[in-house]
Structure 1
């Protein structure tokens, strides 16, 4: 039996023969009579010869060691098959624990670094993985029961194959989209929507998904690497594929508001389904879980994903309103290490190995990761995600209660992505659209440097920026924002003026005046609309937007005139005086009639719908139009770009970038050093027009990014 004077457990008693080839396994032991403590055995085994075991995935909590577990001496204690045993005190020790891995000595940074590299084998080799979400709370039992009911309905429909819980099913969302007009799909949705909507309205499903497990970096690979993963909440469990089926159902609920096919399928005979969905606020629909379900689906289908692609998936936001889960980790560097086990190119990234030593900063880890990815991919594609402002990536020293950091705060080099939550997705959201460097888009030209924080590249200066538009594009600007139509027209007026100034420079950057005129509608899109933008596709929707904004401005002017007339009339009445000396009550200020207001609101909704000009402009969010000094190139640059920055082509990517010369003493460029500003669009060079210059070695220039 456990007593207060029992000895403390130390990992020295169960040393790993080799932390790179062996792991510890934990075996729960029978509980002695009248004792509610947990007893276990810890023993080591080679990773190549493990017994049958289950793995547990759970979110770490506080670092405070508030609990303890009794560790029974593995060699001398009785076996776990014996019933009713009582352990002799000399064979039991107490291990104070946090909610972290007990099988790894968390105080040994060297051991932890080695064991992290074995996580892929540990979780993929387990017979199953249990994802522990926590105790029963907030209606979690009802949620799991509903998930199982929905899955039964889906399986019984025959739309998703005959096998249950044996393979990854076809994506239900795709089936709903492609067959929404069929009786089978409509009958299924009439069954399952009434099951989940009440639980959504009561916030029970949202509470389930808001448990901390869903937002931790390490749980992604722990969830994805095994064929069978069970979500455990309280004393109930549900298979991951069941949760996937229901998750894809959540994804289509917003489409009942945006896709007429969905509404038409139920408006005539089953309007109660629409009423049920309309009663559900969008804020109660669970956030997308693409980092979990999408990643596992790709893994099971054999789609290999690189580390850089995984980092994009976890960190970036592709669309406005994307309320994906923010991913967290106890240590910032785990945003790299926590995904290595899933990365198809992990073995090729030989310089990225978990390192928790106190002498290594997180900035150094992120820098080494970026350099390794550039070298492995033979591309500078990763630079697209080096955005500003950057997070402070250094972790607080857990042993320093004052919050001081173990290392002085170290700024990341300008070209290093910090992979923080909310990283903006690249504007080139379609592969193969551009080839600004021509045949040199696929091969980086690296220059060796003495410092890892300096990246040496070769490429070409396109031109220096002369002017930057005062208004950045704001993709979140909407109908409820007063004066949105004025903002849009002002934004296009800036581009129009820059286009005029470009023509005055007489540069040979366009084949004719007609192509230069197209810059007005190509720039705000980054020349992407259903692939590469074309006049036939874009001009009609562009004209619709301009016409609508002009209509709204005309209404504003009309209202302003009516208000002025009313004020003049009231002033005239006041000047004429009243017999009793009292002032007349002012009449209400006239506004838009309801019919006109409704028309404008509906029209705006159409103009920003998927596929519209405005919708495609979102990829230029926070970018500003620019004009270059010599040639008069027009393009889009990051919000913080400024005159004096240079537009460059770097061998190893298909789009241009903006760099800022580092100015030394005497206001001169210092040794070709630059800070990285961000990705850019440059009209007139996106199809390899400058490839010939890059092909001439003597015309290439050196760029040292710091």
Structure 2
């Protein structure tokens, strides 16, 4: 829900439509208007009476970059009438009303829509209705997603989604970027399937709706969903199927090339819905982790937009009460992190505090130079962070040791128990830089300093490629990664080396001890196909890159004792790697001034994958654990 308030309130409209009892909401119904203006009637109803209505899920502001370029904003400037009162609403919502008025299946329904159903000038009502969002969306007969007005891509994109939704798994396996424009793909997806139709799908998933934090709750709780764009519609299960297909295959790189794409969002929301059913205790933290890529114009809504998803796990807890007035975003994040630590039995939260590169907010002290406590994730940073898997349940770096935790809520410090493993000596370019085609000479430096035979008995080339993907392949998810990913990595890195001049290719490949065994097919060096070489019946080059790209904001590192790992982009030389009781992955910590504390003080840089130490191996050293302070 946007933080700004409509600039011209409908004087008197809500005076006779007050919400005086618990569970009351306002519903609107479109009515004919002789002037040609959009008009509606509004009434107050109780959810206890089980009214039949549609809840609208949409974005206040422009739906596309093109809309923004032509001046569409989230300011209410479009006129309509509610109970004969003139009301100004956003252009995007007004566009939906115009379409709905012409669609008999929509026009005959009552709607709950935040901009009309909530008195946006009443802070108390606004907070109260936010608390009811879960009930409002789960009680609706259905939820309509409004993606905005259609453009020249919409019809083709919706046709493609319906066609892909009907495809069998065998047919989907044959639909690859490498076959783009080929006869086989055109046959499967007739009359669509050509390059222009795929471009239309890409444009659809670039719409602003898919970045909106509130859709997590609205979609997770909806009993039935239809997506509308202009005069076109499609059932949401088809969108989820297509999203999953695009996310888990080489299409994910094709979709994100040249412009950010949100094609993974429907699949992500479906995963969150499954988590709500199977792991309700951790749903708030898991939802926050998955919501990092979403945007909210009010950063507090990164928390509040998920309250309905979290349900009983946050009900009645002061830290999660939506407060828009006196509570700052930083305070909301600190309260939420504290409560999550109190409610959980592990320290998973700490692995998602990603260091200063991913921090926007300051501590609520009035000092602009005082950041949030390092252990509090800044959820306002709109990046997909971490090691690429939400719960890290495949790892147990600290074995089965229970956590020890003391929270000092006054000083906003934690005391945890950890064991130092080693410190970072060298680090390389981030995965994001490599994906963007930038040179990566430090990777060669890391590789050449890595022991030919790792302490696990594996070759340095195997340790290198496994670490870059946290030794995880899929789908379906496999840990350790399938050995077939090794040959795919070798061909992938060779192609990457072809695109940069700052590294001596032969030296890099010699250090990997790779022998070129196969020339690429004729014509395979075009920009669209430069990473799509197939390796017989094994994993393709693009298969490795797809897995590699799922967690891009990481950089590889080498420790003083020669341990190879990967962690947050924020890491620096001298940062230490710790095995922490209750943390499934090692944590990267940075020592700070001890001050008056008798314990060593550290800030968190992020979670890490360290090859050979992800399943309790460090415990065999007999090194004692000790208390440390996290500031």
TM-score by length of 1: 0.64
Q: In 1, Cα distance between the equivalents of 2:206 and 2:488?
A: 40
Pairwise CA distance, 1:333: 1.7
Q: Deviations over 1:341-397 (max 9, x none)?
A: 2336644683553423321111111222222223323111122221131342489xx
Residues 660 and 204 of structure 1, relative CA distance in 2, 3 Å threshold: closer
Partner of 1:493: 448
CA contact (8 A) 2:350 2:375 kept: yes
Separation in 2 of the partners of 1:430 and 1:333? 23
Tell me which structure has the larger Cα radius of gyration.
1
1:122-521 counterparts in 2 under 5 A? 122-141=136-155, 143-144=157-158, 146=159, 150=163, 154=166, 172=167, 174-176=169-171, 190-198=186-194, 200-201=196-197, 203-244=199-240, 254=250, 283=257, 287-296=261-270, 299=273, 303-304=277-278, 306-315=283-292, 327-343=294-310, 346-347=313-314, 350-388=317-355, 389-393=357-361, 411-419=371-379, 420-426=381-387, 431-440=392-401, 443-451=402-410, 453-463=412-422, 465=423, 468-469=425-426, 471-472=428-429, 474=431, 476-477=433-434, 488-496=443-451, 515=456, 521=462
The 5 Å alignment of 1:557-636 reads 609=541, 622-628=554-560, 635-636=565-566
Unaligned runs of 5+ in 2: 1-8, 62-72, 94-113, 176-181, 508-518
1:662–1:246 Cα change, 3 Å = closer
In structure 1, C-alpha distance between the alignment counterparts of 2:154 and 2:495, rounded to whole Å: 48
- The corresponding residue for 2:76 is 65
> Could you tell me whether the CA contact under 8 Å between 1:626 and 1:635 is conserved in 2?
yes
Find the residue that maps to 1:23 and give its secondary structure: strand
Q: Do the aligned partners of residues 701 and 206 (structure 1) sit closer, same or farther apart at CA in structure 2, a change above 3 Å counting? A: same
1 CA distance for matches of 2:416 and 2:559? Answer: 25
Deviation track 1:455-490 (CA, whole Å, cap 9, x = no partner) reads 332233345x2x5115346465379767x6x65433
Kindly indicate whether the alpha-carbon contact (under 8 Å) linking 1:351 and 1:369 is maintained by their aligned counterparts in 2: no
Distance 2:549 2:232 in 1: 46
Measured against aligned partners, the alpha-carbon deviations of 1:644-678 in whole angstroms (never above 9, x if no partner) come to 5333222212222121222156xx97643221122
When normalised by structure 2's length, the TM-score is 0.70
Partner of 1:25: 27
Give the 3 Å change call, closer, same or farther, for CA 284–457 of structure 1 in structure 2: closer
| CA positional deviation for 1:447 | 0.7
Is this contact kept in 2: 1:437–1:691, CA < 8 A?
Answer: yes
Alignment of 1:6-21 (within 5 A): 8-18=11-21, 21=23
Q: Deviations over 1:114-162 (max 9, x none)?
A: 2112112112211222222333433535654x358737x93xxxxxxxx
- What is the aligned partner in structure 2 of residue 42 from structure 1? 42
* Cα shift at 1:216: 1.5
Is this contact kept in 1: 2:54–2:141, CA < 8 A?
Answer: yes
Does the aligned pair in 2 maintain the 1:368–1:452 contact within 8 Å?
no
Count of aligned positions: 553
Is the 1:173–1:248 Cα contact (8 Å) retained in structure 2?
no
Structure 2 residue aligned with 1:160: none
